[in-house]
Amino acid sequence: MGSARGVPLARMPESGEPQMTTQPAPESTLCVFPWAHLFVDPVGVLTTCCVGEPNADVDEDGALIRAGQKDAIARHWRSPRMRAVRQEMAAGRRHRVCDACWRAEARGLTSYRQCANDMGFDAPQPGEDCPPPKVQFVDLRLGNACNLKCRMCIPYSSKLLIPEYRELQVRVLIETDAGGPVVVDVELPHAATRSEIPPRIAAL
C-alpha cells in the first residue's frame, strides 16, 4: 500500500485551531485496517481497531455483534459500519469512526492509521467494500485478566490496577450511546450486563 503520509490532512493557522481540508486525496484517508484487521476489546466489542469508535457494531439486521456469537467475525466484516468505512476511505472521505486518527494528524502527530499503512499488509483493492475476510493482523483483548499493571493502563484492561485505583479513589468514565457520562466502579462488569454500554474509557 505504501505510506499514507504524502498528503497533509490539515494545516495549523495562527489561531492554533486545526483546519481540516475539505476533500483530501484518497491516500490521505485510506487505512489498511478495515480490510486486514480484526479487533476485539475486553468486553467483546468488535470494531475497526483499538482507537476506532468503541460503540458495539451491528449486523445487517440491526443485531448487536459480540465476540463469541455465531458468525460474529463474518457479520462484523460485512456490517453496514465496516462497509461504510471502506467506502468512505476509498472515496477520499474521512469516516467519523476514525476521528481519533484525523485529530492526531490535524495536530501534526503520527496517527495509528499511518502506522498501520507502514506495517506492510496487503493493500485494499479498488471497489472492495465487502471483500472476503483476509485478516492479517488480530488484536484480541478478551477480558481484563492481566499479570501486568503498566503505568499507562487502566482497570478496564488490567484488573491488577483495581486496588490502586480504589486507593486513589479513582473512577472510570464511560461514554454511553445516550450521550451522557456514567460513572461506574473500576471493576469490569460481565460483558452480558453491558451490551448497551460500549465503553470509551478515560481515567479521571
Q: How many residues does the chain have?
A: 204
DSSP 131: P
d(CA 173, CA 51): 16
d(CA 110, CA 118): 11
pTM to 2 decimals?
A: 0.67
Q: Which residue has the higher pLDDT, 158 or 175?
A: 158
pLDDT at 195 over 80: no
Which residue in 1, 3, 5 sits closest to 109, CA to CA? 5
- Enclosing H/E stretch for 11: strand 10-11
What pLDDT is recorded for position 197?
36
Which residue in 183, 164, 165 sits closest to 173, CA to CA? 183
Helix (H, G, I), strand (E, B) or coil at 165: helix
Strand-pair category, 137-140 with 37-40? parallel
What pLDDT is recorded for position 23?
44
d(CA 23, CA 46): 29
DSSP H helices, the chain, are: 33-36, 72-77, 80-90, 99-106, 112-117, 162-167
pLDDT digits (tens, 9 = 90+) for 91-128: 899 999 999 999 999 999 999 999 999 999 987 776 66
Task: Band the pLDDT of 40: cuts 50, 70, 90.
Answer: very high
Cell numbers found for residue 160: 491488577
